[in-house]
Amino acid sequence: MKLSAEDVKRLARLHGASPPCKACSAFAFDGWESFPSLASDAALIQVGALWVAGEDEPTLDEFHLEGTSYWSPAAPIALGFHPYNRCELWQCRQCAHPFLRYTEYGGYYEDRRIRNLNPALIV
């Protein structure tokens, strides 16, 4: 399902401030991290995505505030910019804690990444 920025903000406000439960705490990273390679993601369920196949490739430009970079735990969640513009939204099946996920494609690798959807960081 395609989500609008408003959908994402609503979900973040509803569930993003609650702490992760035992089932999903292994995925609850403040900044981007590689998805834990040995972990199953059965505790999570996909809600929708900000980009769907068939649409134009979203921009690779990033948006940052002073002092933040891609990996910063405080990096803003700028929904119109990379990588948020190609993210999927997932939630914990038990506590509804929300996560952003996408796959980073490098020249020789693919890396699945995950980050908390923290409402305080959405710009």
Contacts with Zn ion by CB under 5 A lie at: 21, 23-24, 92, 94-95, 97
Minimum CB separation of residue 90 from Zn ion in Å reads 11
Residue with smaller CB distance to Zn ion, 41 or 62:
41
Question: Which CB, 24 or 89, lies closer to Zn ion?
Answer: 24
Residue linked to tokens 């980009």 = 51
Q: Closest distance between Zn ion and the C-beta of residue 33, in Å?
A: 17
CB 88 within 8 Å of CB 100: yes
| CB of 5 or CB of 95, closer to Zn ion | 95
Residue number with the smallest Cβ distance to Zn ion: 92
Note whether 117 and 5 are within 8 A (CB). no
- Residue number, 19 or 67, with CB nearest to Zn ion: 19
Tokens of 7: 């959908």
DSSP E strands, 1-123: 33-34, 44-49, 88-92, 98-105, 110-116
C-alpha 91: how far from chain center: 10
